[in-house]
């Protein structure tokens, strides 16, 4: 049922949020967490998808924090109906950290959800300490990033706080492949919010000519990265699996960093092994893109091709600078096709990118790079 928050007057310069969950405890907790941020305003709180869809008629909502399992109408059913009401609204799914939760979250993203957040259990809510603090940080950060993107789509950027304003639009893309580097001996891809959809689009369009290994760091917890690897394996011409510590990189194979583990590569004679570790998070993330990129630069130098896709924050930007200094190639997804232009935008601002490309052009760039002069083993 409708509750007090949506009756309050709202300000045009704040991100407007609707909370949808059949648990009043979860709705109340999320409302308290988000309301502490001055850039966020809770304008609606609903107990099921049907009420949420109806509430969309009352005015602009920028972000919907949406539960999956609810009576009357569940989250999966509600997603396309919410987007039909407002195609610019950003949907943040609330999911459990289980294999089933991962599968459902991927279905939600296929339907148009922008991202997901791990739904807290009773234990994580009451324990205190780092777990609830991480949850608080994540839900606020994702709401701010998705809300900024939604506001921009509505051409209300001038009302955003200065910190939420994205970097200027990038320069004209550089489409040519630098043949002096030779074909890449490894391709490394980093992504976060919106990444699964972007990755699937790229791997659907890659040629079988790609013979070097591909390594991927996507910001996701355990269970979720295994499901991502399975989805990529289903649509890619190359086999894909979650990476295993100590295994040799094989040409023509794709490796996804497991949730909660940084993935790097290390030389072992003339070959290279994957190395997984639980070193401290970087950019609040584990796995993080920066350590992967640094190791790629160290092992492969100018024969590296690194790609930064959609995602919040700036993970990958400093690693991309290391790759560029080693002579490698860096490309990033453009602002228009990114769900959130945080990571690729930060990488663009370093000035190291050879190309800033829409998602529809990235597979083609990789295919062309792989054909430059063949591959070394």
233 carries an active-site annotation: no
Collapsed DSSP state (helix, strand, coil) of residue 187: strand
Collapsed DSSP state (helix, strand, coil) of residue 327: coil
Collapsed DSSP state (helix, strand, coil) of residue 149: helix
CA dist 104 and 100 (Å) reads: 6
- No. of helices (H) and no. of strands (E), the chain: 12, 14
Tokens of 288: 């993080």
Beta-bridged to residue 237, according to DSSP, are: none
Cα end-to-end span (Å), the chain: 62
Q: How far is CA 325 from the centre of its chain?
A: 26
Under 8 Å between Cβ of 249 and 272: yes
Which helix (DSSP H) or strand (DSSP E) does residue 289 occupy? helix 289-300
CA dist 222 and 261 (Å) reads: 9
Residues shown for the chain? 377
23 carries an active-site annotation: no
192 carries an active-site annotation: yes
Q: Kindly name the residue from 94, 219, 223, 295 that is annotated as catalytic.
A: 219
Q: Kindly name the residue from 21, 67, 315, 334 that is annotated as catalytic.
A: 315
Q: Kindly name the residue from 145, 192, 324, 338 that is annotated as catalytic.
A: 192
Catalytic residue ranges? 192, 219, 315
């Amino acid at each position: 049922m409708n509750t007090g928050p949506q009756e309050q007057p709202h300000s045009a310069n704040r991100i407007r949020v609707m909370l949808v969950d059949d648990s009043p405890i979860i709705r109340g907790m999320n409302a308290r967490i988000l309301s502490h941020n001055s850039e966020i305003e809770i304008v609606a709180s609903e107990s099921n998808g049907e009420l949420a869809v109806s509430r969309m008629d009352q005015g602009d909502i920028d972000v919907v924090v949406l539960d999956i399992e609810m009576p009357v109408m569940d989250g999966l059913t509600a997603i396309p109906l919410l987007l039909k009401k407002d195609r610019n609204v950003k949907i943040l799914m609330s999911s459990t950290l289980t294999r089933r939760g991962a599968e459902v979250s991927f279905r939600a993203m296929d339907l148009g959800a922008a991202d997901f957040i791990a739904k807290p259990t009773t234990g994580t809510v009451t324990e205190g300490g780092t777990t609830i603090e991480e949850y608080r940080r994540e839900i606020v950060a994702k709401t701010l990033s998705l809300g900024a993107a939604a506001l921009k789509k509505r051409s209300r950027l001038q009302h955003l706080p200065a910190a939420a304003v994205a970097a200027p639009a990038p320069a004209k893309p550089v489409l040519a492949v630098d043949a002096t580097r030779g074909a890449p001996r490894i391709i490394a891809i980093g992504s976060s919010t919106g990444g699964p959809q972007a990755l699937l689009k790229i791997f659907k369009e890659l040629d079988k000519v790609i013979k070097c290994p591909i390594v991927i760091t996507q910001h996701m917890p355990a269970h979720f990265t295994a499901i991502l690897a399975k989805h990529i394996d289903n649509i890619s011409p190359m086999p894909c699996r979650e990476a295993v510590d100590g295994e040799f990189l094989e040409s023509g194979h794709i490796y996804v960093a497991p949730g909660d583990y940084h993935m790097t590569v290390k030389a072992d004679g003339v070959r290279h092994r994957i190395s997984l570790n639980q070193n401290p998070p970087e950019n609040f993330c584990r796995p993080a893109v920066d350590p992967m990129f640094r190791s790629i630069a160290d092992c492969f130098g100018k024969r590296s091709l690194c790609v930064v896709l959609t995602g919040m924050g700036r993970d990958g930007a400093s690693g991309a600078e290391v790759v560029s200094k080693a002579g490698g190639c860096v490309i990033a997804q453009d602002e228009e096709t990114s769900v959130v232009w945080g990571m690729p935008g930060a990488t663009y601002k370093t000035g190291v990118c050879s190309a800033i490309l829409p998602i529809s052009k990235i597979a083609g760039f990789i295919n062309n790079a792989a054909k430059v002069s063949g591959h070394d083993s």
